[in-house]
């Protein structure tokens, strides 16, 4: 009985010893110096970890983000705030490099005869801001359209139109084009037109009539804004036919540009400018 018990103990010890050898043989390498990052094959002991190539041939260690540093946008600032007003973790506007259609910059003095101070003091009127759609092969492409009139209220005025995906950029484009198209218009006594004018542009007919001092600006709302930019205070205006804003603007500007001045009438009558101005325009 004692012999059988001794043999059983020997067999059990041999079995435990064999299991222990298998366990040590299958145990993986835990030395961090023998492991290389981004590797799927066992490392070779002849090369150092810094000289071994990375898993991807285009991957560079310098381009990898440094996760030990705190990112100002993605990471929360661990330091306690000095005040109770917490700042915004994210920017309220997109950086300029990510904006595909950046708004046009302000005009400089080389693009217009006006100085920056004069351009800042111009009267700007947005007559039309609406959404339009352009149909092409991709379907309906929406955009914003703007019609702007600018003037210095002293005879100088111009109009422009712009189109963009956003309304603010469309107005900026239209304003810049209006400043580039500024033109001077003659006024009688710096308050009204020289004569009654009738101008037809396509299907729009515009009537402008000179009025005495104190009459005021009684005209169509688009003509009213244009006269405010030009600096005409006493006038009566009416629109017949199509009331398309762009046609009304163009007809009004052409009407103001085709006035018969006293110099022209004096040449036709063979008289002096003073006599013509007294007879035809009631000057004192």
| Confidence (pLDDT) at 7 | 60
Whether the pLDDT of residue 271 is over 50: the answer is yes
Whether the pLDDT of residue 90 is over 50: the answer is no
| Confidence (pLDDT) at 79 | 67
Whether the pLDDT of residue 200 is over 70: the answer is yes
pLDDT average, residue stretch 77-105:
53
- For residue 101, what pLDDT band results from cuts at 50, 70 and 90? very low
Which residue, 159, 184, 209, sits at the end of a domain? 184
Identify the domain containing residue 140 by its residue range. 116-184
- State whether 179 and 133 are in the same domain: yes
pTM of full prediction above 0.95: no
- State whether 205 and 147 are in the same domain: no
**CB count in 10 Å sphere of residue 103:** 16
In-domain check, residue 157: yes
CATH number assigned to the domain comprising residue 164: 3.30.160.20
In-domain check, residue 209: yes
Whether the pLDDT of residue 252 is over 90: the answer is yes
Whether the pLDDT of residue 98 is over 50: the answer is no
In-domain check, residue 223: yes
pLDDT average, residue stretch 171-190:
92
- Output the 3-class SS for 95-127: CHHHCCCCCCCCCCCCCCCCCHHHHHCCEEEEE
In-domain check, residue 34: no
pLDDT average, residue stretch 159-171:
93
Alpha helices in 71-186 (DSSP H): 116-120, 167-180
| Confidence (pLDDT) at 20 | 55
In-domain check, residue 251: yes
Whether the pLDDT of residue 87 is over 60: the answer is no
- State whether 166 and 138 are in the same domain: yes
| Confidence (pLDDT) at 94 | 46
Name which of 233, 238, 243 is nearest 204 in CA terms: 243
- State whether 174 and 215 are in the same domain: no
- What confidence tens digit (pLDDT) does each residue in 111-136 have? 777 888 888 899 999 999 999 999 99
| Confidence (pLDDT) at 100 | 43
Instruction: Tell which wins on pLDDT, 106 or 139.
Output: 139
- State whether 204 and 170 are in the same domain: no
Which residue, 184, 214, 230, sits at the end of a domain? 184
Name which of 193, 194, 197 is nearest 227 in CA terms: 193
Instruction: Tell which wins on pLDDT, 11 or 175.
Output: 175
The tokens for 13 are 């010890």
Number of domains in the chain: 2
- State whether 219 and 177 are in the same domain: no
Which residue, 124, 155, 184, sits at the end of a domain? 184
How far is residue 262's CA from residue 278's CA, in Å, rounded to a whole number? 10
| Confidence (pLDDT) at 207 | 96
- What is the phi-psi region of residue 5: left when phi exceeds 0, alpha when psi lies from -120 to 50, beta otherwise? alpha
């Amino acid at each position: 009985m004692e012999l059988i018990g001794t043999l059983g103990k020997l067999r059990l010890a041999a079995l435990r010893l064999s299991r222990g050898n298998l366990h040590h043989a299958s145990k993986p390498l835990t030395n961090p110096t023998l492991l290389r990052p981004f590797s799927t094959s066992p490392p070779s002991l002849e090369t150092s970890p810094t000289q071994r190539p990375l898993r991807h041939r285009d991957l560079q260690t310098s381009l990898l983000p440094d996760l030990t540093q705190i990112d100002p946008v993605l990471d929360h600032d661990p330091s306690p705030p000095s005040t109770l007003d917490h700042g915004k973790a994210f920017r309220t506007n997109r950086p300029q490099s990510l904006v595909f259609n950046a708004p046009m910059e302000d005009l400089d003095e080389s693009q217009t005869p006006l100085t920056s101070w004069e351009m800042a003091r111009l009267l700007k009127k947005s007559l039309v801001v609406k959404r339009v759609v352009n149909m092409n092969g991709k379907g309906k492409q929406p955009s914003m359209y703007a019609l702007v009139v600018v003037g210095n209220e002293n005879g100088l005025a111009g109009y422009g139109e712009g189109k963009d995906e956003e309304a603010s950029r469309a107005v900026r484009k239209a304003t810049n084009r209006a400043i580039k198209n500024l033109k001077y218009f003659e006024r009688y006594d710096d308050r009204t037109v020289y004569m009654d004018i009738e101008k037809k542009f396509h299907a729009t007919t515009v009537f402008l009539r000179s009025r005495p001092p104190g009459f005021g600006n009684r005209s169509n709302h688009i003509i009213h804004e244009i006269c405010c930019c030009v600096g005409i205070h006493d006038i009566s205006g009416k629109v017949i036919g199509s009331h398309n804003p762009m046609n009304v603007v163009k007809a009004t500007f052409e009407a103001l540009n085709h006035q018969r001045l006293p110099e022209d009438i004096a040449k036709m009558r063979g008289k002096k400018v003073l006599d013509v101005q007294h007879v035809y325009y009631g000057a004192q």
